[in-house]
Every structure is written in C-alpha cells, then in structure tokens.
Amino acid sequence: MNTFSASATQSAPQGRRLAGASVGIPPRQLDFRLPAAPRYFLDNNATATTFIAVLSAFFPPGERFFMESVRRYRDRITDPQLRAQVAGFMGQEAIHGREHERLNALFNQQGINTKVPDRAVRIALNLLERFSPSQQLACTTYMEHFTALLGEQLLTDKRFQSRSDGEMLQLWLWHAMEELEHKSVAYDVYETIGNSRTERVLAFPLVAIVMVPAVLGSWIYLLARERKLFDRRDLGRGLELVLGKRGLVSRILPKMGLFARKDYHPNKKDTTALVEAWRENLFGENGTLRDQVRNLQAVAH
C-alpha cells in the first residue's frame, strides 16, 4: 500500500462499531432536514444557484459510478485497513447519493428542474463505461481528486459560505468534509491493481470530453428556464462567484494538474486538521448536525 495512505485514526473497532469508522471514514446515517430555503439560496442569484443545482444532480449517478468502479476490485484487496477504508467509502458515497436525491427532489418542487442534468450525467458516464474497468477506476480517481479539492474549497471559502443560505449550506459542508475523509480510497485501490500513469493521464481528456459539455449544457438549460440566460447583472454576479478570480471553481482548477504528477497521491495535501475542525463543528457536542445522525454512537470520532 502507498506510503501516503491514510493511517487508522483509532484502535480496532469493538462490538458493532462500523468498519469504516475504525479507520476514520464513518458512514453517518444522516437524515438531513431539508430547509425551507429561498429559491435562489446562493447569494440570491440564479446563475450561482443553478450551478450548485447541477452539481447536486450529478452526484447520485456519479457516486454510483465511483462505487462500482471500486467494487469491481474489492476482491483483490488483502490489506485489512484498505478493506475497511473501502467499506467506509462505499457507505459514505451511498448516503451522499441518497441525500442529494432528496435535495434534487426539493429543487424540482421549487421549479429548478434537475432531471435534465441527471440525464446528462448518465449519458456522460455511460460513455466512460465503454472503457476498461481499470480506465474507469482511473477516471474515478481523477474525479475524486476534483471532489476533494472542491470539498476543501467549500470548507475554507468564507466568502462563499457567507453568501449561502445557512441551512442549505450545512448539507454541502457535511458532504465536503466526508469527501476529504475518503479522498485517498479510490486511488489506493487503483495502486493495488497497478496504477498505470498512462491511464491516469488519459483520464484528463476523457473526463473533460464527457463531463464538461454535460455541466455547461445543463447549466445553460437551467438558466434558460429561469429566464436569466441573458440577464447580464445576474450572470455577472453568479459567474464571478463560481468562476471569477476568487470563485469557488476557478480557485481549484490550477490544482487539477497535480493528478498527472508521477509522485501524485491525494494525501500529499494534509487536510487532517481541517477535517477534525469540521467534525467538531458539525458532529461534536454542540455540532450543528449532531441531532440529525441516526448512528452517532457507532461513528463517533
């Protein structure tokens, strides 16, 4: 196993403790109380809000793709710690998909149609499924690199947080934190089966070719439905928040190239302290989401 793999954060589990929790990747059975948030919950802006809605629509099919690409190689994993990490990864991703499906249903009720981006990402992922299982896993590790960077940005971007509806933001902060908890798992599984740098480099164009049109097309569609596609004021403010110099996405794009480095590993960027701080903020004694976790004792850190 790679020397940068995450070490177990606790001793061996006792009793019915979840396997993933024993290595710092607890599948929290979160029953998120969906907020009565305003329609444009991000900066009262349609452009920024619909971008986040597209991301939410992409997550359920995307999480299933990630899980399946890892599951194919589960039998090859002999290291007990990595097996436990995979169990935690699977559990967290399944719950992410479920909670985003609930959130997407709320968006649909509010008139923001997430069914189109859902179909778009399914088509994109179907194209990736035509490649070999190992190439699919390489693509998963690349997309996990993106979600880890996005998660770190969400947890540290005070400007973005201050412009978001406080209750809606809680779900995204939880998801972001768990992306960092399991950020190395898919990559460590990929190392177990060989880690072809050629496949990793190829993941760049493959993911970009299928996912970027799906994202942009869905975003444009939602903006057109909101009658904001030619609203220069709304577009300007929203694009600045997402893609501007200090934007949510623009600040992580320069870091995407780290994935191609020969010595790349997700844990080279140590986010342990950030994760610990947000575990306390969200699930500690006075955590904002503590009362929404059904299995808190089983996954308590």
Residue 144 has pLDDT above 60, yes or no: yes
Residue 200 has pLDDT above 50, yes or no: yes
Between residues 189 and 296, which one has the greater pLDDT?
Answer: 189
Per-residue DSSP letters for 194-218? Answer: T--HHHHHHHHHHHHHHHHHHHHHH
Residue 298 has pLDDT above 80, yes or no: no
> Measuring CA to CA, how many Å separate 293 from each of 20, 165, 229, 280?
16, 21, 39, 14
* Paired tokens of 295: 């299995």
> Are 125 and 65 spatial neighbours (Cβ–Cβ below 8 Å)?
yes
Between residues 35 and 152, which one has the greater pLDDT?
Answer: 152
Phi-psi region of 21 (alpha: psi -120 to 50; beta: other; left: phi over 0): alpha
Of 139, 185, 126, the closest CA to residue 5 belongs to 185
Residues in a beta bridge with 164: 42
Q: How far is CA 197 from the centre of its chain?
A: 23
Q: Rounded to the nearest 5 degrees, what angle is found at the Cα of 98, between the Cα atoms of 294 and 253?
A: 115
Domains and CATH numbers, the chain: 41-270 (1.10.620)
List pLDDT tens digits, range 229-262.
Answer: 999 999 999 999 999 999 999 999 999 999 999 9
Of 137, 145, 151, 138, the closest CA to residue 67 belongs to 137
List pLDDT tens digits, range 47-83.
Answer: 999 999 999 999 999 999 999 999 999 999 999 999 9
Residue 15 has pLDDT above 80, yes or no: no
Band (pLDDT 50/70/90 cuts) for residue 220 is very high
CA–CA gap between residue 226 and residue 74 (Å, rounded): 44
Band (pLDDT 50/70/90 cuts) for residue 10 is very low
Of 2-16, 99-113, 186-200, 214-228, give the lowest mean pLDDT range. 2-16
Percent of the chain with pLDDT over 70: 93
Percent of the chain with pLDDT over 90: 86
* Paired tokens of 167: 């209750």
For residue 130, give the amino acid letter: R
> Are 172 and 147 spatial neighbours (Cβ–Cβ below 8 Å)?
no
Q: How far is CA 69 from the centre of its chain?
A: 16
Residue 297 has pLDDT above 90, yes or no: no
CA–CA gap between residue 268 and residue 33 (Å, rounded): 35
List pLDDT tens digits, range 277-289.
Answer: 999 999 999 999 9
Residues in a beta bridge with 30: 293
For the segment 204-233, the average pLDDT, to the nearest whole number, is 97
CA–CA gap between residue 79 and residue 85 (Å, rounded): 10
Residue 8 has pLDDT above 70, yes or no: no
Of 144, 152, 153, the closest CA to residue 184 belongs to 144
Query: What per-residue confidence (pLDDT) applies to 301?
Result: 55
CA–CA gap between residue 89 and residue 20 (Å, rounded): 7
Residue 169 has pLDDT above 80, yes or no: yes
CA-derived radius of gyration, the chain: 19
How many C-beta atoms surround the C-beta of residue 55 within 10 A? 21
Residue 163 has pLDDT above 50, yes or no: yes
Mean pLDDT of the chain: 91
